[in-house]
Chain A
């Protein structure tokens, strides 16, 4: 699996949304993306990529796109 596939898969697993809705996912548009969803999504991503979110990253992570920036901060090639 490529890194981008792993990242997309985290949304399917962590938020339980279909793959085709992943790219447009935001905290406001996905019902399950509440605090529980956020914690489980972050846990899946941390497991998949082996790094830990910084507190400001936890709070900045409010969309699919925002997560891509966080991965870049941790030098993950996409």
Chain B
């Protein structure tokens, strides 16, 4: 069974959530068996995820039953969800029981406040190796999905568990959403180890969060840069958390100041600070910096995870061997996914990446073989750790208002350029609604004309 779940002690807890839910490894096995008699294989299931035991149990059982899940935030805007539904025609939904009335589908199974519903649609044709679908952007509701193959989730869980040295004693805290690639990776790597996952729905600034992880003796924390900004604001270093042994960071670049602060904190307190790097296309983590080096190598993402290879190539695609030379970061390993889907037909496609992923990130390597990200080739930002495509935002604005528009900026703020001053407020409102992000993250500027090259392509350099 997936992660050898059937070989773990049946009464050991696989997951505990902060609304009182519990799930044992034995229950996971039972749900898997139940599902195999209820549901055919190769159904397409939209999983509306919450950090609750029912959500996690459904994902594991459906995966085990060879159904293909698309993991989506349960709080997704209904219009964006309908759009995904129209694109991919799922045959089933796994969703919170509390939401099922809004859909009116036939409920065929009820489990720990989650339900399996039948949509009445016939499952689309899917490639036999397709195992899981994840969104590339949880925010703009883009129908672009990442196609995982069997082995991706399993191997990444195993290799990441090894990189961290997870044992069955861990109590991994997961407050990142489970539909977010790194969130899922934290869950899977702990299940692989036979450990307990502490699913937290309360956010870091809620006293319930801290009460829960203290009561449940959480040992491992994983956060995006924004999580570390909050921890810093809460003067985390002064908190008494004797059970916490490991802190991991990923999902975006932490500022050097915060990196150094947490690396030093961990060293002083005898805890471990892991900087990691991952992408949805590589089933999350592909590199990590060993905690012993954190203080010396501020800002580094370290080396490839076990069984993975990381290297740089120059503009001509030739591998770079000299240290401190910038090039595109390339990863090879069994966690590289098959490619993308933007339409229902794409679900029949086979492996297009063939184990090699061009990250689109510019990096350099030091004399010890540790990598540092220095920039990005692709046009997206990570606002609060969430990937937001600049091109997609341009399209949303241009199509909605019928105007010219250019989006640029950095991970702290998106800068939007338009030529009609009277639309400034409306553009800001639209893009905030569509991405579900606070409007202060968007700066709308009015300029005389959008600068373009002769080819017609936007000249972003002139805007920065």
Contact = CB atoms under 8 A, between A and B. Distances in A.
23 contacts: A14-B438, A27-B206, A31-B75, A32-B438, A35-B204, A35-B226, A35-B230, A37-B438, A38-B203, A38-B205, A39-B230, A40-B440, A55-B234, A55-B235, A55-B238, A58-B205, A58-B234, A59-B206, A59-B207, A59-B234, A60-B207, A61-B205, A62-B206
Interface of A: 13-14, 16, 27, 31-32, 34-40, 43, 53, 55, 58-62
B310 interface: no
Contacts of A55: 233-235, 238
B100 interface: no
A36 B226 contact: yes
B39 interface: no
A37 to B, nearest CB: 7
Interface of B: 75, 203-207, 210, 226, 229-230, 233-235, 238, 384, 432, 437-440
Contacts of A61: 205
B440 A34 contact: no
Contacts of A39: 205, 226, 229-230, 233
Nearest to A62: B206
Q: Majority SS of interface residues in chain A?
A: helix
**Top 3 A-B pairs, shortest CB-CB distance:** A35-B203, A55-B234, A38-B205
B209 to A, nearest CB: 9
B1 to A, nearest CB: 35
Contact of B205 (A32, A43, A59): A59
A9 to B, nearest CB: 14
Contacts of B230: 35, 39
B431 to A, nearest CB: 12
B203 A34 contact: yes
Contact of A35 (B205, B235, B440): B205
Contacts of B238: 55
A36 B437 contact: yes
Contacts of B207: 59-60
Nearest to B207: A59
A70 B403 CA distance: 45
B52 to A, nearest CB: 16
Contacts of B206: 27, 59, 62
Nearest to B384: A36
A16 B226 contact: no
Nearest to A35: B203
Nearest to A40: B438
B430 to A, nearest CB: 13
Given A35-B226, A36-B226, A55-B235, A16 B438 contact: yes
A10 B437 CA distance: 17
B222 to A, nearest CB: 15
B314 to A, nearest CB: 38
Given A27-B206, A59-B207, A36 B234 contact: no
A32 B233 CA distance: 20
Contacts of A16: 432, 438-439
A36 B438 contact: yes
Contacts of A13: 440
A43 B439 CA distance: 13
B207, B437, B438 — most chain A CB neighbours (10 Å): B438
A27 B432 CA distance: 20
Nearest to A41: B438
A16 B431 CA distance: 13
Contacts of B432: 16
A36, A59, A61 — most chain B CB neighbours (10 Å): A36
A43 B440 CA distance: 11
Given A16-B432, A40-B438, A59-B207, 10 more contacts: A39-B233, A55-B233, A55-B234, A55-B238, A58-B205, A59-B205, A59-B206, A59-B234, A61-B205, A62-B206
B203, B205, B230, B234 — most chain A CB neighbours (10 Å): B205
A32 to B, nearest CB: 7
Contacts of B384: 36
A58 B384 CA distance: 18
